Chains A and B, each alone.
Chain A
Amino acid sequence: MIRWLLLLMLAAGPALAVGDPADQLPDPAQEERARVIGRELRCMVCQNQSIEDSDADLARDLRRIVREQVAQGKPDDAVFRFVHERYGDFVLLKPPFKPETALLWGMPAIALLGGALLIRGMRRRQRVAPGPQELTQAERDRLAQLSGRPRE
């Protein structure tokens, strides 16, 4: 049962939302370019899908706009700029590097540095940790008493 469900999910996964042939560009090279651009644009309605993958109304409108501009011969960055001007950084699935996104992009380096510092701290603590200490006379007496052995 679960296997069937998994198979079904796998089969449904890669299907693109641009199923309507009327929405596709007649030139396959242009259509491919439009798809590459569309996969980098976030659908603002579903938010975790690109406009190529989303079935939302707004995603369809944006797919059409991308295709219109590609057909007009606009370069990729002009198409991205058009959408970015209207929807901001969030619409780009790869956000640009700037002060607001520095933390986002820097997080892997920050995490790595934090881990390295943690490991160094732990190592140092191990180094300064003292070895086995001598028992005091009182402790030795108590131990002997507990284990029932005669005193030394």
Chain B
Amino acid sequence: MSEAAPNPEAAAWRRRALLLAPLAVAGLGGAGFYAMLRGLGTGNYDPRGVPSALIGKAPPDFSLPPLEGTGLPGLSAADLKTGKPLLVNFFASWCVPCVIEHPQLMRLARDGVAIMGIAYKDKPADSLGFLKQRGTPYARLGVDQPGRVAIDWGLYGVPETYLLDKSGIIRWRMAGPITEEILAQQVTPLLRRTA
């Protein structure tokens, strides 16, 4: 500092503030980092997360064949207008996070929430095995083996879940597994709000 301090007391305060500034920056940085780590743990923060381009829009037009052996009907865009909020869940048997979120989907289904499933790039026999072993949370299930319908939804990985309000507009998208925290903090309140 080349400035001569006319008031020594002010200069002392300034020096003290300058000493504390790096500490404050480090403290804030640490708090931010901690919040990020916590968010990573609970699934609330995803550094690679990207907002969906479809939020506020109607889902794309599509029609997918059913999965033989489940007895469930296939899925098309017209099936997404039920007058109630619902979830559209993309999954695959080869997807490990899908296993993590599966109990949460089962719980939602037990609570009466309609979940429409889309098997993404999966062999039908493998999808069937996955659901036989773990239970089927889906009301309807479409098979998207080429993954083309998924691209129309803007999907970039599995699992991915979209929440549609009662008029069939996409309101929320989760790229990644629905953990218990996300179920409690985001899905359940949203389902109530969009009903």
Binding site for B on A (CB under 8 A): 44-45, 47, 57-58, 61-62, 65, 84-90, 125-126, 128-130, 133
State which of B4, B50, B152 has its C-beta within 8 Å of the C-beta of A129: B4
Chain B contacts for A130, CB-based, 8 A: 4
B3 touches A88 (CB 8 A): no
Q: How far is the CB of A87 from chain B (nearest CB, A)?
A: 5
Residue contact A86 to B53, C-beta cutoff 8 Å: yes
Contact A125 B156 (CB under 8 A): no
> Would you give the 0/1 interface string for B136-165, flagging 1 where the beta carbon is closer than 8 Å to chain A?
000000000001100111101100000000
Confirm or deny: B194 has a beta carbon within 8 angstroms of a beta carbon on chain A.
no
| B53:A88 contact, CB within 8 angstroms | yes
Segment 5-59 of B: residues with Cβ below 8 Å from A: 48, 50-54
Interface residues of B (CB under 8 A from A): 2-4, 48, 50-54, 60, 121, 147-148, 151-154, 156-157
> In whole angstroms, what is the CA distance A44 to B54 when docked?
15
Is the Cβ of A88 less than 8 Å from the Cβ of B154?
A: yes
- Given A44-B156, A45-B156, answer yes or no on A88-B50 (Cβ-Cβ < 8 Å): yes
Determine the distance from Cα of A84 to Cα of B151 in the docked complex, in whole angstroms: 11
CA distance A129 to B3 in the complex (A): 5
For the complex formed, measure the closest distance between the CB of B149 and the CB atoms of chain A, giving whole angstroms.
11
- A61 to B60: give the CA distance in the assembly, Å: 18
* Contact present for B3 and A90 (CB under 8 Å): no
B153 touches A86 (CB 8 A): yes
**Is there contact, CB below 8 Å, between A125 and B2?**
yes
* A57 close to B4 (CB less than 8 A): no
Query: Roughly how many angstroms separate A86 CA and B184 CA in the complex, as a whole number?
Result: 28
Which of A65, A84, A125, A126 touches B53 (beta carbons < 8 Å)? A84
Tell whether, in the assembled complex, residue B156 and residue A58 are in contact, meaning their CB atoms are under 8 Å apart.
yes
State how many angstroms separate the Cβ of A126 from the closest Cβ of chain B.
Answer: 6
Can you list 26 residue pairs at the A/B interface with Cβ under 8 Å?
A: A44-B50, A44-B157, A45-B156, A45-B157, A47-B48, A58-B147, A58-B157, A61-B147, A61-B148, A61-B151, A84-B53, A85-B53, A86-B53, A86-B60, A86-B151, A86-B154, A87-B50, A88-B50, A88-B53, A88-B154, A89-B53, A125-B2, A126-B2, A129-B4, A130-B4, A133-B4
Distance to closest chain B CB from A78 (angstroms):
16
Q: How far is the CB of B159 from chain A (nearest CB, A)?
A: 14
- Complex Cα–Cα for A130 and B6 (A): 11
Q: How far is the CA of A129 from the CA of B51 in the complex (A)?
A: 52
- Pick from B2, B4, B53: contact of A87, CB under 8 Å: B53
- Distance in Å from the Cβ of B150 to the closest Cβ of chain A? 9
Shortest beta-carbon distance from B126 to chain A in Å: 16
Q: How far is the CB of A45 from chain B (nearest CB, A)?
A: 6
